[in-house]
Amino acid sequence: MINNRKTLISPSILSADFARLGEEVRAVDAAGADMIHIDVMDGHFVPNITIGPDVLAALKPHSQKPFDVHLMISPVDQYIDAFIDAGADILTIHPEAGPHFHRTIQAIKKRGIKAGVVLNPGTPADIVDYVMDMVDMILVMSVNPGFGGQSFIPNQLDKISRLRDKIEATGRDIILEVDGGVNALTAPQCIAAGANALVAGSAVFKGAGNYAENIAVLRGAQQRSTA
């Protein structure tokens, strides 16, 4: 499949220097990030603990770009308002994170921000079917959530293609994002399968000072510098 969509890049600050988070957010913003991806983990839904609403609020003044907040917490419902109040522009939730997935999406939309669904590698594409009229983003996990620096699971490319077809069938402008193991090799595969947004942690934050080049490579725009 060939597509001409602009690929949005959402650097995951999970791979940033946590002692200098504000500075790192400013750096990826200046380097061309389209969104800032914030991985929220609770040590229960996933085996790692990261960032809460207070850290999100502290980072918010450091970038005007949309904060793409990936909630890996369960139960999730009682924390929705805190993350929206802290500055989330897009909240993505896993269907497995609560008993009433549709209601959780409704609650996010009611607050006037964008809502997204995140699919684990073992979660089928069809789980989005009855929320397609509400969601603004579908996020395909190409690793099992919990840690940065894992290897891309290739069979998720088929899921990306199926989801692209579902999105086209709605006629709605739903972002199709991929998260996990996205690098210079796998990014073009995701884009060819129909993704129009890529999360990348280790591939963006590697090599201090090279963030702009790292982002351009993922977006496939590296040829611009030689044009």
Q: Is 158 an annotated catalytic residue?
A: no
Three-state secondary structure string covering the chain: CCCCCCCEEEEEHHHCCHHHHHHHHHHHHHCCCCCEEEEEEECCCCCCECCCHHHHHHHHHHCCCCEEEEEECCCCHHHHHHHHHHCCCEEEECHHHCCCHHHHHHHHHHCCCEEEEEECCCCCHHHHHHHCCCCCEEEEECCCCCCCCCCCCCCHHHHHHHHHHHHHHHCCCCEEEEECCCCCCHHHHHHHHCCCEEEECHHHHCCCCCHHHHHHHHHCCHHHHHC
| 179 catalytic per annotation | yes
* Among 24, 39, 42, 68, contact with Zn ion (rule: CB under 5 A): 39
Binding status of residue 182 toward ligand DX5 by CB under 6 A: yes
The answer to whether residue 179 forms part of the interface with Zn ion (CB under 5 A) is: yes
Task: Among 32, 66, 87, 180, indicate the residue that binds ligand DX5 (CB under 6 A).
Answer: 180
Is 70 a binding residue for Zn ion by CB under 5 A? The answer is: yes
Give residue number: closest CB to Zn ion.
Answer: 70
For the segment 39-98, give every residue that binds ligand DX5 (CB under 6 A): 39, 70
Binding track, positions 158-177, relative to ligand DX5; x by CB under 6 A: --------------------
Q: Which residues bind ligand DX5 (CB under 6 A)?
A: 12, 14-15, 37, 39, 70, 143, 145-146, 148-150, 179-182, 199-203
